[in-house]
Structure formats: structure tokens, C-alpha cells
Structure 1
Amino acid sequence: MPAKPSEDLESIARSGGTLRRMAARVPTYLTDLRENPAWLPMFVLARTMPGRRAHWWTARKVSEAPLASGSMFGNINPRQAADELRTHGIFTGLNLPPEIHKEILKFGYETPCFGNFDRRNEFLASEHADAEKRFNRSIISGHHFERVLNCKAAVAVQQDPLLPAIARHYLGGEAKLITTRTWWSFPTMTATDADLSRASFKFHFDLDDWRMLKFFFYLNDVGSDAGPHVYVRGSHKRRRLKHQLTLVVGHPAEEVLAFYGKDQAITVTGAAGTGFVEDPFGFHMGTLAKREPRFMMEIGFGVSKPSQRRFHGEPVIRG
């Protein structure tokens, strides 16, 4: 029997204790700090509502203007989308044309991905079960990193004029593209009950920038068993004091829903091509893929300089 490999960041994030998870992220934090010293005040203050509100006051206003060219998403008004985002934190109704999401899905099957954020674990999505045996570990996700830029359809979505228009109306005139990524979420038979429990029921918020907006697209059909995305409406603009004064961004579902309201949690399911945009400071989670894999694309906008050392947020893994 092969020796058990060293744990990857995904495994630690899903099964380790708070201190262990934070320790695993230290190399990434130090890299961010060396590259951009302005990262530290953001990391400390952007989790607080006063800090975020102060930064929102610096947003440059955007004048009303028609889109420079036609959008693949049809006649969606970016200002109205931004208004709904301000109210609820999420806007749905962004549907990819069939030829676009089919081409990206084809890319997802034909292009090797990296399991659990680790470039040492490379495999095709169709080889997931064999990859778990080969690498002797459960593999819950598979990311393509910079390879997504080889997919013309993915780049076409990234460059569609509607996305930056919505981002500018919501984030301000400083809004810029900072992330483009595709990844698989896999059902796995090798994870422990503790892994499954923690992966399924942990809401979190993103703390990558002072102000962010993320567009998500399902590239295959996503029902209740394929790991649908869940978002807590309104949690982007009010925050329990306990959730501001903690170093961790993940919290148990029952704790989050008890404060923000169970009726505010929206589960997004849909056919291939279904898209939505959200303020990721609101509590959200990708639930566990139980029976079917989920293939997803994210395009993110922010207001700060993106990391140049790693591909769009790829973690630094020690050793």
C-alpha cells in the first residue's frame, strides 16, 4: 500500500481545525503581503462593516452609458442589475448561449485539471475515480488555473461588455477584471463522514478585496445532487459583530441562518448555461456534489491590484 501523501490545502481547509486551517494559509498570506503591502489593512479591516463602508465611499461614480457593443446575454440593464445587487447581494438571469456553454464544457472534459488546488494531482475529469486511487486521497475539486485562457468561449464570456458594465455600476469606476477560472466539484466515495459534513454545511464570505463582484456560470446541469450554490440574501450589507471580529470567514450553517434568516438562503439550481452574479462578502457556499459532478466558471471583478505571482488566487502550498 502506498504511503499516505502530505495533505493538500483543500483537505486541510475542509477537515482541519481553525488554527490548522490558518497555518496552512500562512504561505499564501505572506506572499500576498510581500507582493502588495496594502493587502494587510484590507485583510484586517475589510471584514468589518465600518471599514468596508469607508472604502465604499471612495468609489468613483459611473455615468449612464449604453454598452459599447452587443452582449451575448441580451438586453440586461447593468444599472438595474447593480441596484438589485445592492438590495439582495445576488442577481440571477444571466444565461449563456448554448454554443458557448457547450464549448466550455467540452474544454472541461478535454483539458486536465489539478486536484484540490495541487498541481501535482493532474488528471482528466473523466478519470476522477482512478485519480483518487492513483494519488491515494479523496479529490473534491479540480481546477484548470491558467489553462482556461486557452478556451476561446471562456475568454469570450470574460470579455463580454455586460460584465464590466455591471461591475462598474456596482463597485465604482475602479472596477477591473481580476479572476477567471473554471473548476470541477466531484462527488467522492472516499471522504469521511466528517469531511462530508464540513464540506456541506459551512457558510463563508470572501475576503480577497475591499469590494468585489463575482459572476458564476454552470457549465453542466446542476440539480440538488450536483453541489448547487447557496447564497444568503442581504448578508452582504449587515454583519453580526461576531462575524466581523473573527479571523475565520467560515461559520456553521445553523449559526449563519439563525441570524440572517433561513428564508434569505437561496439555492441556485439550473440547466447548463445558468448564470448569476453576487457580492461575495455575503455568506455563501458551494454544497457538496453528492451524485453528479458540477463544472463551473467564475469571472471576478475587484478594485485592487490582482496577484501576479499566482494565477488568480491560486494558493501557495508549502512543501
Structure 2
Amino acid sequence: MHNPPAKDLESIARQGGRFKRMAVRIPTYLTDLKENPAWLPMFLLARTLPFRQMHWFATRQAVEVPVSGTSMFEGVERRTVVDALRADGIYPGLMLPDRIQREIAEFACNTGCYGNFNRKLEFVASEHAEAEARFGRPILSGHLFERSLDCDAVMAVQRDPLLIDVARQYLGGQAKVITTRIWWSFPTQASEADRSLASLDKYHFDLDDWRMLKFFFNLVDVDEGTGPHVFVKGSHRRRRVRHQLTLLVGHPANEVLDYYGQGNALTLTGRAGSGFVEDPFGFHMGTVPTRKPRLMMEVGFGVSKPSRRRFHGEPVLR
């Protein structure tokens, strides 16, 4: 009897793991479909460049007048941000005011989070080691879920006119906030399944809407040992055919970088308060912290009716 080579077995196991991760998401997908039947064609077709472009040109509403009001992001020009997004898929030059950064970080430190997306695993970030011992499992992430919206500084960032203006200029006039969240990533001995659940250590692209834009902010100092975010520049506007036709959005780093270029991988380190905005259709990933926890905030914009993302615990904003 012929035995498959070890390399083939490894490949089969990897594919099996991918499909197992898809199976975990099926209840969420079915609920999204029930709530919004338009979700299914988006999920199937938005991964392909031709259908994305068709949807973009058919539905994009032009915006002529910038959003009024004073932004907390002094010296940042909307045109510069939008031009960078169109060319590279990312603009890394944002910085929260110190007061806003401190207020959000203090709120996150004093507010209970939920480990590994499980609302039964509640703890305060400073008690991470005790929580792992208490619950008897590694805890890689801690999400604040809808509690994030209880922080006034978070809401001030979400409503900032620069963010809204950039989103409307890039996505079209119908752009709206669809996610606002804060989460911790902890150094721990996490399994591959836990890393996949937290979207860590594997390049992927987001398919929550036809068009999206996400603003991220480091709420602690982030270096190579803090699990920085990585984005592949230019991958939002060109896509390998096999990456368009597969239902799997996560891919190994070597497979992605061999095609899109090692030099296009941008690692987003920076001091507390530093931020960036990206088109999440481009390949990106978080990395697992090795020395100290990472605390991040995200404000996401889309163009469709937001769905309840139970898998990520993100609230529906009304």
C-alpha cells in the first residue's frame, strides 16, 4: 500500500484545520443570512475583484462637502490619507491626543473583558495569569465587546469628523460606523485554533461588507514583542486568482508574501496612541505577543446594513 509523503500529509492536515475553522463559523454565518439575506451574495462575490468593482461603481455615492467640526487629529489632511489608502491600502500616520489615549487605556485596564470571545471567561486584564489558572486554559485575547461604548473617549474617537470624512471619501457617501471595539492580546501558549479564532499569525482579509475601512489605535507602546499588526501594501487592489476563488480567507505568510512581495509587509509598531487606517480587503494579520500584552482599539466603517457579529462580539450600532 502506498503511503502519502509526509509533506502531503501535512498539507492535508492543514486543509482539514482550515475547514474545521470554517465549520465553527457556520452558526454565525447562518444567523447573519437569516437577519440579512443580502449577506450571502456579498460573502460569495465580494472576494473577487470584478464583482467588488462592479458593486463599487454601481453603489458608490460621491461626497462633495467635507464633514464639519474640529478633529482631534491635528495636522492630518484628508486628501493625504485617502490618496495613501488608494495607492497602498494603508495610512500609518495617526496619533491620538495623550488625554484620549490615557482615558481609553485606563478604562480598558479597569473594565472586565471576556477571554477567547467567551463571555463565561470574564476577568480584568491585570489578572490574566490568575484567570488562566482559574479557568484552566490559555487565554490569548480579551474583548470588551459592547462595554467599549461606555467610554466617552471611545465615542469621541468614533465620532471624529476626520474619520467620518475619510471613510465617506474613500467608501462613498453611505459609509457608516459598523464596529467599535477594544481588545487585549496576551502572551500565552495558545493553540493554532485559538490563534486562528483571534485572527493571529495568519494573513487574511475581511469580508464583513462589500467595502470597508478600519481605523486602529495602539493603546500601549507596541514593539516587536507586543504582537504588532502587519499589513501587505497594495494587496487591496490586486489579488491572486486562487485567493479570489477560495472560500478560505486565511493563508500562510510564505504563500502571501511570495506573491505580493516581502518588501510590502508593513509592521505597525509605535508608541501608545499611534494609529493607522487600512482597507481590510488587503492581506493583514495580528501577531501573537511574546513579552507583554497589546491593547488595541478599532473603529470600522462599511456601506451595508451591519450584521450582528457574534463571532467577534461586536455590537450593532444604531
Check whether TM > 0.5.
yes
The 8 Å contact of residues 62 and 172 in structure 1, kept in 2 or not, is answered as: yes
% identity of equivalent residues: 62
Q: Secondary structure at the match of 1:204?
A: coil
Partner of 2:62: 61
Q: Structure 2 regions of 5+ residues with no counterpart? A: 1-13
Q: Which letter maps to 1:35? A: E
Displacement of 1:61 in angstroms is 1.1
Map 1:20-35 → 2, pairs under 5 A: 20-35=20-35
The 8 Å contact of residues 15 and 194 in structure 1, kept in 2 or not, is answered as: no
Distance 1:272 1:240 in 2: 35
The 8 Å contact of residues 178 and 312 in structure 1, kept in 2 or not, is answered as: no
Distance 2:25 2:277 in 1: 27
Q: Which letter maps to 2:289? A: A
Q: 1:283 to 1:114 in 2, by over 3 A?
A: same
Displacement of 1:78 in angstroms is 1.6
Q: Secondary structure at the match of 2:251?
A: strand
Name the TM-score, length of structure 1 as normaliser: 0.89
Q: Secondary structure at the match of 1:217?
A: strand
Map 1:150-165 → 2, pairs under 5 A: 150-165=150-165
The 8 Å contact of residues 25 and 311 in structure 2, kept in 1 or not, is answered as: no
Partner of 1:145: 145
Q: 1:271 to 1:42 in 2, by over 3 A?
A: same
Runs of 4+ in 1 over 6 A off after TM superposition: 193-199
Distance 1:105 1:34 in 2: 37
- Give aligned pairs, total: 299
Q: Which letter maps to 2:313? A: E
Q: 1:85 to 1:42 in 2, by over 3 A?
A: same
Q: 1:134 to 1:16 in 2, by over 3 A?
A: farther
Q: Which moved more, 1:77-86 or 1:133-142?
A: 77-86
Q: Which letter maps to 2:101? A: H
Distance 2:163 2:311 in 1: 17
Q: Which letter maps to 2:190? A: A
Displacement of 1:83 in angstroms is 1.4
Partner of 2:9: none
Partner of 1:5: none
Displacement of 1:97 in angstroms is 0.3
Map 1:191-230 → 2, pairs under 5 A: 191=190, 201-230=201-230
Task: Tell me the alpha carbon deviations over residues 1-55 of structure 1, each in whole angstroms, 9 at most, x when there is no partner.
Answer: xxxxxxxxxxxxx998012111100110000000000000000000011111111
Distance 1:104 1:112 in 2: 14
Displacement of 1:81 in angstroms is 1.1
Displacement of 1:194 in angstroms is 8.9
Please state if 1:314 is matched with 2:286.
no
